[in-house]
Structure 1
């Protein structure tokens, strides 16, 4: 079994990619949490508390919330006849 690399064992490119992926993950988490706080319960599929918990799963939680957790109106206004 290969041992985990420490910070010192990583190349500069690996360190940069790790920091970028961490920043993206944190940004997605903050965006999902903020959206959950501002969005009414009626516009969210499922319970807010479950989406809050799921958003802490690296990358997949926040992305899942934005793709599947929010209800989207079609945005089309139908004309009355």
Structure 2
């Protein structure tokens, strides 16, 4: 069950990273792509800290 959650988080993070313009990502996209592959920590770190939030 935990592996399903891990793969799901990684998939969501990779899709978001691929669709998001580079100027809306904190840091370099290739580094985030590698970091997302690291267990639960990578996708959670990207989703919480790697994206620049859009202001309304």
TM superposition score normalised by structure 2: 0.95
Cross-structure match for 1:60: 41
Alignment length (residue pairs)? 56
More helix by share: 2
Distance (whole Å) between structure 2 residues aligned to residue 65 and residue 28 of structure 1: 10
Partner residue of 2:17 out of 36, 41, 48: 36
Structure 2 spans left out of the alignment, 5+ residues:
none
Cross-structure match for 2:54: 73
* Aligned residues: CA RMSD: 0.7
Larger-gyration structure (1/2): 1
Structure 1 spans left out of the alignment, 5+ residues:
1-19, 76-81
Instruction: Identify the structure with bigger relative contact order (alpha carbons < 8 Å, sequence gap 6+).
Output: 2
